[in-house]
Structures are given as C-alpha cells and as structure tokens.
Amino acid sequence: MLSNVSKTFLSNIRKCNYWNATIRQMSAEKPIENSIKNKMTTNLVPSYLDVMNESYMHNVPPESETHFKIVIVSEHFFNLPNLKRHQLIYNLLKDELQNGVHALSIVAKTSQEWDAMDKNIGPSPNCRGGFGK
Amino acid sequence: MNILTRSIFSKPTLIRRLFSAETNEKIKDLVTKSKVVLFMKGVPEQPRCGFSNAVVQILRMHGVKYDAYNVLENEALRQGIKDFSNWPTIPQLYINGEFVGGCDILLNMHQNGELIETLEKVGINSALKQNNEPSK
C-alpha cells in the first residue's frame, strides 16, 4: 500500500502531466499556424477558412510547422485568376515562407464558386524525401 | 565573427542580388528554350517531392514533352527561379516562356480542361484531347 506521501507525489506528477499537455495544445505551441490564420482572417475576411498543418506527412520532426494547406473562401478573389489568388496569399505570408514554411498548398475560391463545387478536398501528395536535401 | 562579416551574412538579399542578375539571364534562356519547361525536385523518372511528382504525372497523361530542371542539384537555380517567377515554392511550370503556376494550379487546369486549351494555343496536342475526340 502506498504511503500518503507517495500518493501526493504521484498525484502531483499527474497534475503536472495534465498541465503540460494542456499547455502544449494551447496556441503558443503553433505560432506559425496561428499567424497564418490571423493574416488570412484580417486581410481576406474569409467566409470559410481551414489551415491544415500537413507537416506530419513529411520527413520533419514531430510538431513541425513546415507544410501547410489552406482552404479559403473570400470575396477578395472575385475576378482574380487562380495564379493571382495564389500570389496574393503568398505575398501576405512572405515572412512565414521565408522562415520555415516550406510547402503551401492553396484552394482559394469565391463563395459562389465554393457553393458550386464539391468540397471533397483530398490531402496533398506525400513527400518523396526531397525536403532539406 | 567581426562586424563586417556579420553585416554581410545578415543581408542575404544583398548577396542574392549580386549574383541574381546573371542567374536571371540564365533562367530567361531556360524558360524560353522549350515550349514546356518544368522546375522540380528530382528528375521526372524519380521525383523527390510529392508536388513535383503530381505535375510530372499530369504532364505524362497529356503526353507532353518538356525540359525538366532539378533544383535540388543547383542552389542558385532553386532560389533564382523563386525570385524570377515571384513564386516561393517548387515545382514551377512554364509554357511558351510564361509562368503557369505550381502543383495546385496545374491540377486545377487539368481538372477543368484549361490545360488542354493552353497547350493547344502553343501548338501542342494533348494526348487527352485526342482520346476525347472520337466520342464527341
């Protein structure tokens, strides 16, 4: 049977683990993902936004923020060809792209296009080992 | 590290600009040398990146002949093409000297038929178009 002291000790460890896990889930651990979300929201006022961290699909350490996919619906894309929509987003995310973001897959639609399309957006292709080499 | 070397290393854009003029000229030559030019990671027979592979597969389906340049073998080209196209990622496709886009855009053009039209405009018959015609 465990003494009271060791019981308290164990429960403290459990609390510690709980808080560590909670802190890990908090935004501070995803600075780039959050900054992408912020910039998209402020500049493009999207009616739909999904920022996916796809880094786990690649040859990078766990919890990396290197590969992202953005699905964004905004009226700012009206009358802009696809190329210009991508460039608009790339320009907004210049800092992120120069500081660690290595791949950025983009689906950029107006709400009219978004309503008309099937929303089945597959994952980006898997890595083939070229990263960092 | 003394102040001089530190200031040189802290200004990558300056260094880049010093040799980018030459690289730009070379890239201009590359993108106009063939009708279809692809800058990718790896080679078409063995792409080293899923996005590059996707573009290679699309071009293969359309039966397009193209020049491919492996940016992993040339760091100046890897950075140079990003600056040249104002596009931060690889792969990058050029048709008739004009920048078309990366993997997402090409996949889009493939799906909505735009790629067949774009190729046709520069005198390339897509294999997918020839397959479609008899059924029309």
Instruction: Give the pLDDT band of residue A133 (cuts 50, 70, 90).
Output: very low
Residue of B nearest to A59 (CA): B49
* C-alpha span between A117 and B21 (Å, rounded): 43
Range of lowest pLDDT (A14-18, A94-98, B63-67): A14-18
Which pLDDT does position B27 carry in this prediction? 95
CATH code, residues B34-129: 3.40.30.10
Asked if A126's CB is within 8 angstroms of B48's CB, the reply is no
Residue of A nearest to B78 (CA): A133
CATH code, residues A30-116: 3.30.300.90
* C-alpha span between B109 and B125 (Å, rounded): 15
More confident call, A26 vs A92: A92
Token pair, residue B115, equals: 């790629």
CA distance B125 to chain A (A): 23
CA distance A49 to chain B (A): 17
Domain boundaries, chain B: 34-129
Q: Are B130 and B116 in contact (CB under 8 A)?
A: no
Helix ranges restricted to H, chain B: 3-9, 12-33, 50-61, 75-85, 103-112, 114-121, 127-132
Average pLDDT of the segment spanning A27-53: 92
Token pair, residue A22, equals: 């909670």
Instruction: Give the pLDDT band of residue A125 (cuts 50, 70, 90).
Output: confident
Q: Is the pLDDT of residue A127 over 80?
A: no
Instruction: Give the pLDDT band of residue B30 (cuts 50, 70, 90).
Output: very high
Give whole-number Cα distances, A128 to A44, A124, B20, B32, B50, in Å: 33, 12, 29, 29, 6
Which pLDDT does position B12 carry in this prediction? 54
* C-alpha span between A67 and A54 (Å, rounded): 5
Which pLDDT does position B136 carry in this prediction? 39
* C-alpha span between B77 and B83 (Å, rounded): 10
